[in-house]
Structure 1
Amino acid sequence: MFKSFLKLSRFHKRLVSVSVDAVALSFALWASFALRLDQSLWVPNQGQLLVSALTVVFTLGVFVRLGLYRAVVRYMSDRAFLTIIMGVGSSALLLIILGYSLQVLVPRSVPIIYAALAFIFVGGSRMSVRMLVHHTSNRGKEWVAIVGAGETGAQLAKALQQGTEYHPVVFIGLLPANHKALISGVPVLALSHLEEAVRVHGVKRLLLALDADKQIDRRQLLNRLEALKLPVQTVPSMSELVAGQARINDIRDLEIEDLLGRDPVRPDNAQVAASLYNKAVMVTGAGGSIGSELCRQIIRHRPRVLVLFEQSEFSLYAIERELQAINRIDGLDVEIHPLLGSVVHRRRCEMVMRSFGVQTVYHAAAYKHVPLVEHNVIEGVQNNTFGTLHAAEAAIAAGVERFVLISTDKAVRPTNVMGASKRMAELVLQGLAQRQSKTVFSMVRFGNVLGSSGSVVPLFRDQIRDGGPITVTHQDIIRYFMTIPEASQLVLQAGSMGRGGEVFVLDMGEPVKIADLARKMIHLMGLVEKTPDQPEGDIEVVFTGLRPGEKLFEELLIGDDPQGTSHPRIMMAREASMAWDDLELVLSKLSRASQEFDCREIVETLKSAPTGFTPNGSVADLVWCNGGHDLTVAHESTGKVHRLPI
């Protein structure tokens, strides 16, 4: 019967509500007189009947006028109950006025008793319907515990109670003082009672809703939650909610940056803003994971012009559309110019910088995937080393004030071509910084970026969703990790701090063991690792062996004596550089070897330069290994090497 009522049209539901209120108000009037006169079988006279009828009709009119019947019962708020109080108060006042006006006996306490009973009956009927609706709608929902009993947790509980997927049954409070409290009707249990709460309330999933302003050791908390082997998910950050990028009930997989074991690096916003506000800024590789996040943060500092330089048409289209939406919604009034192009084309870069009066360049364009660059040696060197050279020389020619290179920890004592090509890019900027002073060059070096196109985290997540196995190259491999926003903030910070030729690095805390990260992701997604001891587990971790150019651990510094900066988490490395004349000889050798498609000569040249390059295998370029080497030797023997402009 109740389900049939819920299926009624909106009009018929309102008719039912009006009818129920008419009966409830009539009964409240009768009961108030009966209680006052102490007559359980009290029968009204003609005058009292008239006053009662007029009061009920007037009250229903007031309820209609106040919009009570427009309120959806299941979503009733405090405003609806305020409406009932106002309507009932007006009704009691009318009862007094009608009694005096029509000379009908209405004892003075009757309106008070009537108002109380009317509020109980009218409000109570709605509360009862809402409870029945919620009880019915909670069937089939997954029972979840909300970790965090603060404002974020309370907002999440309200959102989930109105939703269709999850039913919050308990809060896990991080403050012992909140133990056994109630929030929105949901009990709060302290973290020390976590296992009991999960068992007693039949929790199937844990949702993290931690307030951003609370100091919490997230790593320790997640280690505690991991032992439960339940899926752990999180809600959007407060900044995303404020910016309108997400809603509180947008539940998503746990952000693995919570496992970093350190507080996120915060930029000096005043210094960054001063370097960007009302400036003409250009980002190369604007459609990549780092480049696109740079653009999102730069635009909020209101530059005059933002030039997006990208060789991928789709990536450029996607980031330009997103930035235009931010520009319009936030009223930033920034000129956004999406431009297709490659950094290896020097004249294209220079014309772009000149045309838009670019003052600051953030050079994020690079090939960064180690095995792919190992298999494409010439393209990796052309894009990473010569692309940086051409973009930097274009910046000097166009009068750019600042040029910031996004580098990598793989440039430190590299064992692969990608790292060596990025170290050469650093040497290029160091050389150009010594050769001239018009353009300030600086470099920013950081580790693996969580969520970027080359990160293991999205790969592991996809492998887990596909049922495994998770592939890890070596059981002892470790990496430094940071978030995309952190990396972008560091780049912006360094761009404002650079004075010429510096290499900036981030204090990234302790490195993370990749195998442990994989296992933690398995457990936090509510699954069990499949091992010889647990053959019935869900996901297996398989070790595939180091890939070409890969090493067990990465470093951020070549030297051992970093210099502090004005930012407590940013250091300045003291790195060796090359005189420009010596650097030109190396670049000339690389260019000639590239033109002759001689991958072995490229590797030997990178080894002879002060890059610290020590490859851990032979040349792995796919073309070179599949006939390219023989063709190059044949050309050299005839003296007819086909040289192409690079």
Structure 2
Amino acid sequence: MSYHKRNLTLILLDILLVCVSVYSSYFFRFKGDIPAENITQFIVYMIVSSIICTVCMRVFKLYNRFWQYASIGELISILKAVVISCLLAYIVTYLFVGKAVPLSIFARNAETLLLLLGGSRFIWRAFRDNYKKRTNLRKALIVGAGECGMLIAKELKFNKQSKVYPYAFIDDDMNKKNLQIYGLPVIGNRKNIPALVEKHGIEEIIIAIPSGSKLEISELIDICKRTKAQLKIIPPLQDIIQGKVTLNTIRNIQVEDLLGREPIETDLTAISSYLSNKTVLVTGAGGSIGSELCRQIASFAPEKLLVLGHGENSIYTIELELRRSFPNLTLESIIADVQDRERIDQVFKEFRPSVVFHAAAHKHVPLMERNPSEAVKNNVFGTKNVADCADLYGTERFVLISSDKAVNPSSVMGTTKRIAEMYIQSLNERSKTWFSAVRFGNVLGSRGSVIPLFKDQIARGGPVTVTHPEMVRYFMTIPEAVQLVIQCGALSEGGEIFVLDMGKPVRIVELAEDLIRMSGFEPYEEIPIEFSGIREGEKLFEELLFIEEEVTSTQHNRIFIGKLGDINQFQLELGFTRLEKVMVHEFNELRGVLEDLVPSIHRKVNYELASVP
């Protein structure tokens, strides 16, 4: 029904209700026989009441409301409209007729009118509510009977596009148990969730605690994972603009929610002091880490941001994003290969960057096992080229993005990252530039990581392939890893290997199971999991520190400093000379030179495949 037709219908209905109210008031006052001397007053009072009541209803905008959402506010507005209209009608009738309406009729009319006008609208709301309940919708259990939970319940009940219906609330506040909110009962606390889901046939669980800590949400998710219900969550308060909660803010549980880590606290003053109004270079700027570095650095208003990468498409993409998000940013997009010393020298000579974040690297372990010379060219000599130019052209700070695979490396990729660490530590001893490295584990969602692979396999109907049932890895989100990297740059005084607190390691098979459940399937039953065996160069357990590496804390509780003994510069330079030689003339000797430079690569790890659960 159109807006005008709807309003006209409501007005006619209200006029009818006013007439019924006035007539019934006279009818009961005079016991069904209205005296002749009161007929004129009755007719005038009925007409005047109809006109004035309609006007008052419009003044209080009662024809502009969705009555399926009616609440106390609407009831108060109806009360005001009825009281004012009855008083005005009483006065106007007296002026026209010259005889006052009996007070008993006036009181009865006001009472009846309030019941009819208010009751008709709330009956409509009740009808809409009951009608929605009768439709075939998925049952939802809302965890959190606070303000957010109530808003979500209201939204789900009355939104026509919703495919779920709120069934009940869960809340740990024992004072709320057995109470009803919007007609929905509070049926238990978080410990009861698995049993209640089974008992009531719940198909969706919505976690509506936007003010909850990361740890609390993670614990709730662990409980909900025991059920077959699909999990959804309301984003944190800081992600909800002005507290407005709509159906669109409900999202599926993400892998990041499982980690349960609190937001990172950063020293914005220290970061701003070394990035603001400085020329900052990011190598590998088209990659997952590099592009996020560019996004976060841009927010600190550098004088100029240099985004350097080998792939033109990825650099073009991040350039478009940065220009759109930071229109006042001075940006230079540079297509260059870190292996090309002359080109890198040209870039440094032209732009003279004050700060360098070196994120360009080959990182795929099995691929680098099959292409070791490319790993050496990019991760070792590429780093050397950029670091040497930073030293030559007076860069203030140089931050190398390293990896936990550089610790006791069992792969070519890990070994090359460790050699890169050794080189910048060695260079720091004789340079005015502050060189440091930041070592962390896997990042969720980065290109080539396990998460996108699992999601693709699930979308194809499985199977999901896991290398080994006991394989564990450290995980961190890309934004929090980069946030800590930038913080490390502020803490650096030269020569440090910063180690990030990655939290608890995650079993890859459990990660696969969680992703399958979050996609609405049951692992092993609907989506199979297969174990393919450990790939070349991989380890069951990654480490963040060497056994003999000394660890010291920093002023940031998520950042530590690991430091081995002094680097033998002569042996390192000799190793680089040998690497250059064998890459060109004696390719088969390459692994031997790597092992001489990083003896821990001898610690090869072989595991027999464990039984499938």
- In 2: Cα distance, 1:41 partner to 1:291 partner: 89
Aligned to 1:19: 12
Aligned to 1:212: 211
Query: Aligned letter for 1:394?
Result: C
In the TM superposition, what is the alpha-carbon distance from 1:441 to its structure 2 partner? 1.6
- In 1: Cα distance, 2:393 partner to 2:554 partner: 29
Aligned to 1:142: 138
Which of 573, 580, 602 is the matching residue for 1:614?
A: 602
Match of 2:499, SS state, is: strand
1:543 aligns with 2:531: yes
In the TM superposition, what is the alpha-carbon distance from 1:209 to its structure 2 partner? 2.6
1:418 aligns with 2:416: no
In the TM superposition, what is the alpha-carbon distance from 1:97 to its structure 2 partner? 3.1
> After alignment, is 241-250 or 479-488 more displaced?
241-250
**CA 1:419–1:67: 2 relative to 1, 3 Å:** same
Give CA deviations for 1:398-450 in whole Å, capped at 9, x if unaligned: 4332221211100111111111111122122112211212x222111111112
Does the CA-based 8 Å contact 1:363-1:405 persist in structure 2? yes
**CA 1:245–1:175: 2 relative to 1, 3 Å:** closer
Q: Superposed, which structure 2 residues align to 1:413-452 within 5 Å? A: 413-437=408-432, 439-452=433-446
Match of 1:266, SS state, is: coil
- In 2: Cα distance, 1:232 partner to 1:265 partner: 25
Q: Superposed, which structure 2 residues align to 1:629-640 within 5 Å? A: none
Which of 553, 557, 567 is the matching residue for 1:568?
A: 557
> After alignment, is 96-105 or 404-413 more displaced?
96-105
Aligned to 1:386: 381
Query: Aligned letter for 1:167?
Result: Y
Q: Superposed, which structure 2 residues align to 1:343-422 within 5 Å? A: 343-352=338-347, 358-422=353-417
- In 2: Cα distance, 1:245 partner to 1:290 partner: 32
Match of 2:178, SS state, is: coil
In the TM superposition, what is the alpha-carbon distance from 1:458 to its structure 2 partner? 3.1
Does the CA-based 8 Å contact 1:178-1:188 persist in structure 2? yes
- In 1: Cα distance, 2:6 partner to 2:594 partner: 79
**CA 1:180–1:279: 2 relative to 1, 3 Å:** farther
**CA 1:92–1:507: 2 relative to 1, 3 Å:** same
Q: TM-score, normalised by structure 2?
A: 0.87
- In 2: Cα distance, 1:243 partner to 1:338 partner: 37
Query: Aligned letter for 2:162?
Result: T
**CA 1:149–1:460: 2 relative to 1, 3 Å:** farther
**CA 1:615–1:62: 2 relative to 1, 3 Å:** same
Match of 1:382, SS state, is: helix
Which of 11, 21, 24 is the matching residue for 1:28?
A: 21
Match of 1:562, SS state, is: strand
Aligned to 2:166: 168
Does the CA-based 8 Å contact 1:548-1:617 persist in structure 2? no
In the TM superposition, what is the alpha-carbon distance from 1:505 to its structure 2 partner? 0.9
Give CA deviations for 1:55-96 in whole Å, capped at 9, x if unaligned: 322332344455443434445677655654554344234224
Does the CA-based 8 Å contact 1:367-1:383 persist in structure 2? yes
Does the CA-based 8 Å contact 2:415-2:598 persist in structure 1? no
- In 1: Cα distance, 2:393 partner to 2:243 partner: 38
Which of 453, 456, 462 is the matching residue for 2:450?
A: 456
**CA 1:42–1:362: 2 relative to 1, 3 Å:** farther
- In 2: Cα distance, 1:236 partner to 1:573 partner: 36
Aligned to 1:202: 201
Query: Aligned letter for 1:440?
Result: W
In the TM superposition, what is the alpha-carbon distance from 1:337 to its structure 2 partner? 4.0
Give CA deviations for 1:311-361 in whole Å, capped at 9, x if unaligned: 333333433344444436xxxx43344443333344544555565563322
Aligned to 2:293: 294
In the TM superposition, what is the alpha-carbon distance from 1:279 to its structure 2 partner? 3.8
Aligned to 2:609: none
- In 2: Cα distance, 1:137 partner to 1:427 partner: 67
**CA 1:524–1:484: 2 relative to 1, 3 Å:** same
Across the aligned residues of Structure 1 and Structure 2, the Cα RMSD in angstroms comes to 3.3
Match of 1:504, SS state, is: strand
Aligned to 1:327: 326
Query: Aligned letter for 2:410?
Result: T
Does the CA-based 8 Å contact 1:170-1:201 persist in structure 2? no
- In 1: Cα distance, 2:450 partner to 2:560 partner: 26
Does the CA-based 8 Å contact 2:466-2:508 persist in structure 1? yes
Does the CA-based 8 Å contact 1:48-1:105 persist in structure 2? no
In the TM superposition, what is the alpha-carbon distance from 1:213 to its structure 2 partner? 4.3
- In 1: Cα distance, 2:21 partner to 2:278 partner: 71
Does the CA-based 8 Å contact 2:145-2:169 persist in structure 1? yes
Which of 149, 156, 179 is the matching residue for 1:153?
A: 149
Aligned to 2:503: 509
Q: Superposed, which structure 2 residues align to 1:173-322 within 5 Å? A: 173-189=171-187, 190-214=189-213, 216-242=215-241, 249-260=248-259, 262-322=261-321
Aligned to 1:557: 545
Match of 2:537, SS state, is: coil
Match of 2:186, SS state, is: strand
Query: Aligned letter for 1:225?
Result: C
Does the CA-based 8 Å contact 2:44-2:93 persist in structure 1? no
- In 2: Cα distance, 1:482 partner to 1:301 partner: 23
Does the CA-based 8 Å contact 2:194-2:226 persist in structure 1? no
Query: Aligned letter for 2:44?
Result: L
Match of 1:475, SS state, is: coil
**CA 1:127–1:315: 2 relative to 1, 3 Å:** farther
**CA 1:136–1:318: 2 relative to 1, 3 Å:** farther
Q: Which runs of 5+ in 1 are unaligned?
A: 1-7, 531-536, 619-646
Aligned to 2:576: 587
Match of 2:539, SS state, is: coil
1:605 aligns with 2:593: yes
- In 2: Cα distance, 1:147 partner to 1:303 partner: 44
In the TM superposition, what is the alpha-carbon distance from 1:108 to its structure 2 partner? 4.6
> After alignment, is 419-428 or 513-522 more displaced?
513-522
- In 2: Cα distance, 1:115 partner to 1:324 partner: 64
Give CA deviations for 1:84-114 in whole Å, capped at 9, x if unaligned: 4554344234224313432342345655654
Q: What percent identity do the matched residue pairs reach?
A: 37
Query: Aligned letter for 1:172?
Result: I
**CA 1:134–1:302: 2 relative to 1, 3 Å:** farther
1:97 aligns with 2:118: no
In the TM superposition, what is the alpha-carbon distance from 1:581 to its structure 2 partner? 4.3
> After alignment, is 109-118 or 458-467 more displaced?
109-118
Q: TM-score, normalised by structure 1?
A: 0.83
- In 2: Cα distance, 1:540 partner to 1:601 partner: 42
- In 2: Cα distance, 1:91 partner to 1:346 partner: 87
**CA 1:27–1:480: 2 relative to 1, 3 Å:** same
Match of 1:282, SS state, is: strand
In the TM superposition, what is the alpha-carbon distance from 1:293 to its structure 2 partner? 2.7
Give CA deviations for 1:534-591 in whole Å, capped at 9, x if unaligned: xxx2222211011111111110001343111111222100124534444333223323
Aligned to 2:465: 471
